[in-house]
Amino acid sequence: MTATTLTLLSLASLAAGFIDAVVGGGGLITMPALMLGLPAGTPLPTILGTNKVLACTGTTMAAGKFLRSGILRWQDMLGPVLAAMAGACGGVALAYFLQGKFEAVLRPLMLALMVMMLAFTLLQPKLGQLHAPKFSASHQRGWAMLIAVLLGFYDGFFGPGTGSVLIFLFVAILGFDFLRSSALAKSVNWASNITAMTLFLWHGSWIPMVALSMAVANGIGGYLGAHVALGKGSAWVRGMFIAVVGALIVRLGWQVWFG
């Protein structure tokens, strides 16, 4: 791999880390970048494993920044984090079982989900502006754990778009504002990433030089993204969510229709 290719991959990873920390969707930048930058014929689990190494760095930096801010208590994150880890284990197992047989099906499904998320957000201008939990603390933790185990499974299985979907579900179902949803989503996404990464590395499914170079850039982007989100507040995060999901819809739509 040339130095130019590695530099371009690192720049893509930096941008992905920043965006992912705020509204998720970083994997929809890094996964296509890796597919283009790595040699043709690289097995999909190797691409997924490489992507998880760099994603873990970004989500660790972002989750740590949110946790230190005190915007959510660590007790509220513990259950969803453990649920996401359990889900990711099942997802990675399925990824190896169905290696090379599922990507073409997932992209149209993800496109449809993104369109519904964007429409729902635009039709409810006040969605996610105020922090108004809909459930008692125990029911809230139960719903958060259910969401976490399902999205953790998807993240281990494939991954791109996990953060954006988590934020949307925490806003729409739990009644969180966008800033707190982003904080909880980042903790859940960190848990699924770290679990999936461990399993992929256990199988040797990664490319160390690429993964570590992109990981440094992703970590910097993740820290900066979380810092900006905390400073700007929920209204800004909501605007970024709409912009990023809209861009992802265009990108996924192009891939689905034109290949």
Output the pLDDT for position 144. 96
Output the pLDDT for position 247. 78
Q: State the SS3 of the chain.
A: CCHHHHHHHHHHHHHHHHHHHHHCCCHHHHHHHHHHHCCCCCCHHHHHHHHHHHHHHHHHHHHHHHHHHCCCCHHHHHHHHHHHHHHHHHHHHHHHHCCCCCHHHHHHHHHHHHHHHHHHHHHCCCCCCCCCCCCCHHHHHHHHHHHHHHHHHHHHHCCCCHHHHHHHHHHHCCCCCHHHHHHHHHHHHHHHHHHHHHHHHHCCCCCHHHHHHHHHHHHHHHHHHHHHHHHHCHHHHHHHHHHHHHHHHHHHHHHHHHC
Output the pLDDT for position 174. 93
Alpha-carbon gap, residue 249 to 208, rounded angstroms: 31
**φ, ψ of residue 124 in degrees (nearest 5):** -125, 85
- CA torsion angle 244 246 247 249 (round to 10): 120
Residue 93, by phi and psi: left (phi above 0), alpha (psi -120 to 50) or beta? alpha
Whole-number CA gyration radius for the chain: 17
For residue 126, give every residue at least 6 positions away whose Cβ sits within 8 Å of its Cβ, in sequence order, or none: none
Output the pLDDT for position 93. 94
Predicted model pTM: 0.81
User: Do the beta carbons of residue 206 and residue 50 sit within 8 Å?
Assistant: yes
Instruction: Return the domain boundaries, the chain.
Output: 3-258
Output the pLDDT for position 136. 80
Output the pLDDT for position 128. 61
| Amino acid occupying residue 36 | L
For residue 132, give every residue at least 6 positions away whose Cβ sits within 8 Å of its Cβ, in sequence order, or none: 175, 177
Per-residue pLDDT of the chain (259 residues; tens, 9 = 90+): 789 999 999 998 999 899 888 887 788 788 878 887 888 788 888 999 999 999 999 999 999 988 888 888 888 889 999 999 999 999 999 988 887 666 667 668 767 877 887 787 788 776 666 677 787 878 889 999 999 999 999 999 888 788 888 999 999 999 998 889 989 999 999 999 999 999 999 999 999 999 999 999 999 999 999 999 899 888 887 888 788 778 778 877 887 787 6
Chain centroid to CA 145:
16
Output the pLDDT for position 259. 60
Output the pLDDT for position 102. 62
Output the pLDDT for position 130. 67
Output the pLDDT for position 104. 66
Output the pLDDT for position 101. 67
